[in-house]
Amino acid sequence: MDLTGKTALITGASRGIGAAAARTFAAAGAKVALVARSGDAVAELAGEIGANAVAIPCEISRYWEVEQAVQNCLTAFGGLDILINNAGVIEPIAPLGASDPEAWGALIDINIKGVYHGMRAALPVMTQAGGGTILTIGSGAAHRPLEGWSAYCTSKAGALMLTRAADEEYRAKGIRAISLSPGTVATQMQRTIKASGVNQVSQLDWEDHIPPDWVAKTLLWMCGEEADGFLGGEVSLREEEIRKKVGVA
């Protein structure tokens, strides 16, 4: 996949899937706008990638900051072709009836409103330019409840609906909106889950998780026409057929 001349904005780019996607997309020729709360971490990554990367500190739960991040991307690179909604959190992990309401709401602000904010800020820019691709990191948790994960499961179900809504309203205007359910990935989130000891996911060994690079390569594949059959839906990296198409089987 050659992304020369394209620009991608990646949220949660300071580590894990986001950082892997930044490196993968830059290697494919794209200019990358790295968005995260951790300004130092994205600045370091941008320095590693070089002139085709810009670091943009941003709290995605605040719309005005996301809107400004998109404007900063336009100022730096002149356009926005790909949005990757990657930023997300897993905590609070707690029984529904004992969860902290503020922490529960904070997760929703990041995992659902953050995705909405990215789409809301990017869609006018993309449609004016004639189209674009919006990829959102989903989860199998969007489809079934897991003990202690009421906030996370709810948020991933909501984010999947946002992908469906974006496709319903904007496919005819050139927008390619797709969700990616990667399975369990070897990131800091899995260390947090492991430490919780709650539900079956916490019982998995580190070797059971796929590397972030697999997810990054899948996101790159999703930017191409071969993924058009999934518009408005979800690609599952658990499926062997998808892994073969991406080249990570």
The set of catalytic residues is 152
Q: In 3-state terms, the chain is what percent helix, strand and coil (to 5)?
A: 55, 15, 30
Residue 234 CB coordination number (10 Å):
18
User: Strand 132-137 vs strand 175-181: parallel, antiparallel, or unpaired?
Assistant: parallel
For residue 94, the cross-strand partners are 149
**DSSP state letters, 103-161:** HHHHHHHHHTHHHHHHHHHHHHHHHHHT-EEEEEE--GGGTS--TTBHHHHHHHHHHHH
Please report, to the nearest 10 degrees, the dihedral formed by the alpha carbons of residues 171, 174, 176, 177 taken in order: -50
C-beta separation of 107 from 35 below 8 A? no
**Which of 18, 24, 31, 115 shows the shortest CA–CA distance to 81?**
31
For residue 178, the cross-strand partners are 135
For residue 149, the cross-strand partners are 94
